[in-house]
Amino acid sequence: MKSIAMWMLLLALALPVSAQQKSEGRYDQQIRVKASEELGKRDKFKGVTATVEDGIVTLTGNVELYIDKVDAEKRVRKIQNADGVRNRIEVASSVHDEILRDQLSDKLRYDRIGYGIVFNNLTLSVENGVATVAGKVRDYPDRDSAIAIVETTPGVKDVIDEIEVAPTSINDDRLRIALARSIYGNSALQKYAIDPQAPIRIVVENGNVELHGVVTSKLDKQVAYTQASSVPGVFSVKNNIVVASEMNR
């Protein structure tokens, strides 16, 4: 009698699990068809395949650019009843890390000209095609622009975004303008003002200033520091400017 009761209990417990598994997979075919249709709308996804199990979509295959990998996942996530996406797409294009780093550095160095480029400072590293972008920028459009450049560059396999966006501050904005005028307006530093890449970068956060970039002499580095320190409202100045002759020593 006890054996029968135990068997009935196990059966009762098993039924909900079985029903749940059936429920989880009931939309799989529908999701797979929708995913294939969505991916089929763009030639860039012709090498991508979607499989579905228990509502989870797995994307495999190849694309040319990292941004295409990101875009494929975004499109599939919007499909009704899809519970998640495993993105196992690989980027087909390949570029040597050193070459890729130089290409990205050149692009980022001139990004946002006319939009306060002087107030952004980014760092970049590339390892096995994975690009890590860090540093500080003035606002979110600056960050988004930098990430977009990296995502759309051939050879980038993945992107790690470690960029910090400065908090909104009217006082900091006032200081940025005053600092740029003080530094680039100095007679010894005016030669840098005509360079569109803004060799001296000025990062401001809560009244604290960081100077970055490359100059041609120790004197120019010191003048930049002195000019920044003389601006009213500046709490501190950290001078990270590098002298060109001292690089790669």
Class in CATH terms, 97-165:
alpha beta
Q: What is the mean pLDDT of each run of 10 residues along the chain (249 residues)?
A: 50 48 72 94 95 95 97 95 95 96 96 92 98 97 98 98 97 98 97 95 98 97 98 98 85
pLDDT at 227: 98
What are the residue ranges spanned by the domains of the chain? 24-91, 97-165, 170-246
Using CA atoms, how far apart are residues 149 and 192, in angstroms rounded to an integer?
25
Give the angle subtended at the CA of 121 by the CAs of 116 and 126, to the nearest 5°.
130
Q: Which residues pair with 86 in a beta bridge?
A: 58
Give the angle subtended at the CA of 213 by the CAs of 104 and 158, to the nearest 5°.
25
CATH number for the segment(s) 170-246: 3.30.1340.30
> Whole-prediction pTM value?
0.83
Per the listing, tokens 């600056």 go with: 142
Domains 24-91 and 97-165 share a fold: yes
> Which of 118, 132, 137 has the alpha carbon at shortest distance from 177?
118
> Which of 185, 248, 192, 182 has the alpha carbon at shortest distance from 217?
192
Architecture of domain 24-91: 2-Layer Sandwich (3.30)
pLDDT at 10: 47
pLDDT at 60: 97
Q: Give how far Cα 65 sits from Cα of 106, 115, 145, 151, Å.
A: 19, 27, 17, 7
pLDDT at 3: 55
